[in-house]
Amino acid sequence: GAVVSQHPSWVICKSGTSVKIECRSLDFQATTMFWYRQFPKQSLMLMATSNEGSKATYEQGVEKDKFLINHASLTLSTLTVTSAHPEDSSFYICSAAILREIDEQYFGPGTRLTVT
């Protein structure tokens, strides 16, 4: 099956700094990538949808200036958490899909962000 990687798998940063998380589709070209956030013992909440070459579409309640998403190529999307605060600590998961096969989403292994 298709493989999606995320880097880093775990990051600790100080409050007020920014951190970038990468999501890569390793063996296919992903026209669409999704970013999710998961708090402990909770479900996945969609943050935003990004299509290659266009601006991301954010879900209601997600601050687009705080969570910057870039999908510059068909194999890479990045999520930058700007001016991170402890409440941004969470598990971030990306998934990738080919638009015409949107029912097949491939998930990355996730990134654990801890803001101190």
Partner 1 sequence: AQTVTQSQPEMSVQEAETVTLSCTYDTSESDYYLFWYKQPPSRQMILVIRQEAYKQQNATENRFSVNFQKAAKSFSLKISDSQLGDAAMYFCAFLGATNKLIFGTGTLLAVQP
Q: Which residues bind partner 1 (CB under 8 A)?
A: 32, 34, 38, 42-46, 49, 91, 93, 95, 99, 102-103, 105, 107, 109-110
Between 4 and 84, CB nearer to partner 1: 4
Q: Which of 66, 2, 79 is nearest to 36 (CA)?
A: 79
Dist CA 71 CA 92 (whole Å): 16
Biggest distance spanned by C-alpha atoms of the chain: 41
**CB 44, CB 37: distance < 8 Å:** yes
Between 12 and 46, CB nearer to partner 1: 46
As measured in angstroms, the least distance from the Cβ of 95 to partner 1 is 8
Between 69 and 110, CB nearer to partner 1: 110
As measured in angstroms, the least distance from the Cβ of 6 to partner 1 is 10
As measured in angstroms, the least distance from the Cβ of 12 to partner 1 is 17
